[in-house]
Amino acid sequence: MSTSIASVLHGPKDLRLEPRSLPTPAPDELQIRITATGLCGSDLHYYHTFRNGSIYVLEPLSLGHESAGIVVAVGSSISPSTFSVNDKVAIECAIPCSTCSFCTSHPSRQNLCPNLRFRSSGKLYPHFQGTLQQRINHPARWCYKLPEQMGCEMGALLEPLGVAVHAWRRAQAERGERVLVLGAGAVGLLCAGVGMLRGMDVTIADLDVGRVGFAVENRFAGRKVVLSPPEKDAGVERMEGIAREVGEFDLVMECTGVPACVQLGIYAARPGGRVMLIGMGHPVQTLPIGAAALREVDLLGVFRYTDTYPESMEIVSKALDDPKAPDIGKLVTHRFRGLESVPDAFERAGKSRDEEGNVVVKVMVVDE
């Protein structure tokens, strides 16, 4: 038994550094020193409100699930040929139960396991604590050794990249399709970037001129559209008009969850097209279902990912070797060092610009 320091959320914006007892890793576990954790939208919801939609936090919770680190101890049943001390590893923070029908009969949909434990989520109690800790024990089955040329920051990006990979698997797209990505946050940029690597004709749209400019400058998309904020109380018909201005697309990847953007996505999809619902926003929305039904526009949900880390590593390796590929490393726009900086990191992650006016995309807490 040893002690590890953790950043722990006790209520809205109430983060505290606390010691936690850390046992010797179980036979099938690795003990990992966390060196990179990216902050995502769900972390921000918890930080600001101590809840995420309908999920309420019931006990003090460490946040963070986009993570990588260095192995410092190896469980007794793990072969040295698999993992060794000092290996760099990416951590998949979603652990399915392995006994439900999704796990046993539909392994490609383990993300829908009702008993899935996810680090930093308040869905199940006791909560599965997140990675904003000095060290954690984690099942080796859900760790991935990083290649020599890939650092831990890139390893942490494999988690949001997995969402993009899963979305593209669900989309069943063909090379050359016209794709509209709504939302130029980290997940939207990664969805667009994977599309570029797959030979798609990608347009990205956002309200923020800086974000869409960032996307095109760093080769995440070929075209950009700056959207105008919808007028207050603007009807669904307003989105139909904007869609005519934006154009018609084979595939729309909606990465905001904002009702107006989902409406726009339905209208912007061509007859027979698809809209991928990736953004997690309002649980109840008003949508132009008639426009979808009469034009046979398919609406497909996307929730997290399943078995995406190996493919995500291949994508990152390809991008690192190709000067024309999306510059995935540029996604990390702001770094904060050490757990004591976590409150400042969350405050920065909640803004679209820093004090110098630079675009904020992905904020990462690092310790290397």
Domain ranges of the chain: 2-145+327-366, 164-301
- pLDDT at res. 84: 98
**What backbone phi and psi angles, to 5 degrees, belong to 158?**
-65, -25
CA-CA distance, 191 to 279, in Å (whole number)? 11
Q: What is the CA radius of gyration of the chain?
A: 20
Other Cβ atoms less than 10 A from the Cβ of 19: the count is 10
Question: What mean pLDDT comes out for the span 230-246?
Answer: 76
Amino acid type, 295: R
- Enter the CATH code of domain 164-301: 3.40.50.720
Give the pLDDT band (50/70/90) at residue 327: very high
- Helices 186-197 and 209-217 cross at an angle (nearest 10°) of 30
- pLDDT at res. 249: 98
Name the E strands within the chain.
2-11, 14-22, 29-38, 51-52, 55-56, 66-74, 88-91, 94-95, 117-118, 135-139, 143-145, 178-182, 201-206, 223-226, 249-254, 269-277, 298-301, 332-337, 362-366
- pLDDT at res. 154: 98
Give the pLDDT band (50/70/90) at residue 233: low
Element containing residue 242 per DSSP (H, E):
helix 236-246
Q: Is the pLDDT of residue 316 over 80?
A: yes
- Enter the CATH code of domain 2-145+327-366: 3.90.180.10
Amino acid type, 236: V
Q: Is the pLDDT of residue 368 over 80?
A: no
CA-CA distance, 7 to 74, in Å (whole number)? 24
- pLDDT at res. 178: 98
Token pair 């796990």: residue: 103
Mean pLDDT of the chain: 96
Q: Is the pLDDT of residue 350 over 90?
A: yes
**Do residues 326 and 157 touch, judged by C-beta distance below 8 A?**
no
For Cα atoms 142, 136, 87, give the angle at the middle one, nearest 5 degrees.
60
Task: Output the CA–CA distances (angstroms, integers) from residue 4 to 20, 134, 337, in the order listed.
Answer: 5, 6, 17
**Do residues 132 and 49 touch, judged by C-beta distance below 8 A?**
no
Question: What mean pLDDT comes out for the span 149-171?
Answer: 98
Q: Which of 360, 195, 163 is nearest to 277 (CA)?
A: 163
Measured on CA atoms in the order 46, 52, 56, 58, is the torsion positive or negative? negative
